Structure 1
Amino acid sequence: MTHTKIAIIGGSGIYDIDGLQGAEWTTVDSPWGAPSDAILSGTLGGVEMAFLPRHGRGHVHSPSTVPYRANIDALKRLGVTDVISVSACGSFREAMAPGDFVIVDQFIDRTIAREKSFFGSGCVAHVSVAHPTCPRLGDACEAAARDAGITVHRGGTYLAMEGPQFSTLAESRMYRESWGADVIGMTNMPEAKLAREAELCYASVAMITDYDSWHPDHGEVDVSEIIKTLMGNADKGRDLVKRLPALLGADRAPCPHGCDRALEYAILTRPEARDPELMAKLDAVAGRLL
């Protein structure tokens, strides 16, 4: 049994956590570069929590320039056990309306300009992301959302696009009709993959702001309308977050789905062939095995 430490990676509109006791911003050094921002740490309901603004305070990072590896590494160094991503998204489904939340369970990764792994030449590893989110955390997020009176959909496929531009109409129709995606965003990949490599349980709460451009009655994405919905979603997102400690508890058993043991058989490079420089950088991410 270990202690729970929940990290919230806050997306557009969410830059703090309400009610965090003993809150203090801490700068965490990472061998993968500087994280998006300092990390706000404290306790909520007797459970340790950390908060990292994905885009930095003041929204200084675009989706492509977010330092995803540094962010996940920094959270791991702080002793985080569970990561919950809260992010804005567009919807491909009439029933998933602006203002609704989706507990994502699958991804289609269309990003092309981001480093997607902690591993590489000098230490090769292959983790499974067949089921890229943790059902246990998803249960907690769903329960918190329902308790907060939020309209929430359990399960959905998130199309991660590179951005920063929104989709063309042709792309939006393809993602919806041919590929079967439910929501679209720009930030959950490679974040979810990196969390799995770092053996962190990961859940994604997608907050719908718009219908993307496919919807015949809504037309192209209107940024002014997105911002209005975003502000309301941010309030609901903070309400969801403050209910999580009571649901997850201060004591934590091993993940029943194996998220915290994802590297068990993933590292293929023989010890004598591993690059010492890369191994030093992996001290937090893969320290349990290395």
Structure 2
Amino acid sequence: MPVTPKVGIIGGTGFDDPDILKNRKEKKVSTPFGDPSDALILGEINGVQTVLLSRHGRKHDIMPGNINYRANIWALKEEGCTHIISTAAVGSLQEQYKPGELVLVDNFVDRTTNRKQTFYDGEPGHPVGVTHIPMEPAYCQQTRALILKLAKDLNVEIIPKGTVVTIEGPRYSSKAESNIFRSYGAHIIGMTQVPEVVLAKEAGICYANIALVTDYDCWRESGEKVSVAEVMKTFSENVNKVSSFVLAVVARIGQENWDATINELKETVKGAIMLPKS
């Protein structure tokens, strides 16, 4: 039977408006990995079954290193999500990635230090085996192509590629660190892409991230250095642009055939699992 898309949206501010979803209802869930960041918000967008999840909790009281990423992704998987569209605020590591611009992330560098990145950890009640999930491509190619085509159709400006450095946080980088990350050739910096993108692929879910550049981090010799006030100002000025585009993405996902992509992803996951010898 053809795959019927169901989309999870992982974000925060801007996705708590009850008008976003039709037939909206809340559902509290738990997983073998603990509780997700918040209740799942179930509903529909243009007839597409959709699940909203606030990454940091709706009170924004969970710091990046304390987010239960495994519970979040597992909860969306158990709810039947075939796709995840995530949003995130990021800093810029390159002059041409300007505050206020959208970036469709296509790669990452992991600089986190204390996060569990697999469901297959050998703990009781967790999936059996060891998995070596390939991360190239890290993001779903069909979903990325859809987003870029839709942006062109709607005249939404979005940078088509970007490598994000994910740091542990919650502090921002030092200037020396920021310049090291620039030397990697990375474009943006954030605190939440890893392990979220890794776990989504291990769960067999098509995943894409739309990042909003809010600041220039701290590497520039002149101008404002990254601060909470600057990040929130830029975010609040652009959140409606981000949320309206994500809603359009969800609607477009419902119009495409995903059979080949999802079956290929399932085979990739299956082939990455090494079961214990009997």
Q: Could you tell me whether the CA contact under 8 Å between 1:28 and 1:38 is conserved in 2?
A: yes
Q: 1:1-290 residue pairs with structure 2 within 5 A?
A: 1-11=2-12, 13-16=13-16, 18-121=19-122, 123-176=129-182, 178-249=183-254, 252-256=257-261, 258-270=264-276, 272=278
Say whether the 8 Å CA contact 1:141–1:240 is kept in structure 2.
no
Helix, strand or coil for the counterpart of 1:181?
Answer: coil
- Post-superposition offset of 1:167: 0.5
SS at match of 2:91: strand
What SS class does the counterpart of residue 89 from structure 1 fall into? Answer: strand
Quote how far apart the aligned CAs of 1:241 are.
Answer: 1.4
Q: For the Cα contact (< 8 Å) 1:196–1:262, is it kept in 2?
A: no
TM-fit CA distance, 1:156? 0.9
| Greater displacement, 16-25 / 89-98 | 16-25
Per the TM alignment, residue 2 of structure 1 is displaced from its structure 2 partner at its CA by 1.4
* Whole-angstrom CA distance in 1 between matches of 2:192 and 2:92: 15
- Range 25-34 or range 62-71, more displaced: 25-34
The alpha carbon displacement at 1:254 in A equals 2.2
Amino acid at match of 1:156: G
User: When you count helix as a share of all residues, which structure comes out higher?
Assistant: 2
TM score, norm. by length of structure 1: 0.88
Q: In structure 2, do the counterparts of structure 1 residues 251 and 28 end up closer, same or farther at CA, with 3 Å as the change threshold?
A: farther
Does the CA-based 8 Å contact 1:108-1:157 persist in structure 2?
A: yes
Does the CA contact (< 8 Å) of 2:7 and 2:82 recur in 1?
A: yes
Does the CA contact (< 8 Å) of 1:144 and 1:241 recur in 2? Answer: no
Q: Contact (CA 8 Å) 1:85, 1:188: kept in 2 or not?
A: no
Distance of 1:162 and 1:132 partners within structure 2? 19
Q: Note closer, same or farther for the CA distance 1:95–1:251 as it changes in structure 2 (3 Å cut).
A: closer
Bigger shift: residues 88-97 or 220-229? 220-229
Aligned in 2, Cα 1:217/1:255: closer, same or farther, shift over 3 Å?
Answer: farther
| Counterpart in the other structure of 2:125 | none
Secondary structure at 1:220 match in 2: coil
Q: Is the 8 A contact 1:109 1:189 kept in 2?
A: yes
Instruction: Structure 2: give runs of 5+ residues left out of the alignment.
Output: 123-127
Q: What number of residue pairs does the alignment pair up?
A: 270
Q: Secondary structure at the match of 1:221?
A: coil
CA distance in 1 between counterparts of 2:51 and 2:213 reads 24
Q: Contact 2:15–2:243 at 8 Å: present in 1 too?
A: no
Query: What displacement does 1:240 show?
Result: 0.8
Aligned residue for 1:282? none
Percent of aligned positions with the same letter in both sequences? 37
TM-aligned CA distance change 1:255 to 1:104, over 3 Å: farther
Deviation per residue, 1:137-178 (Å, 9 max, x gap): 1123334444554431001100000000001001111101x2
TM-score (norm 2): 0.91
In 2, the alpha carbon distance for the partners of 1:38 and 1:215 equals: 40
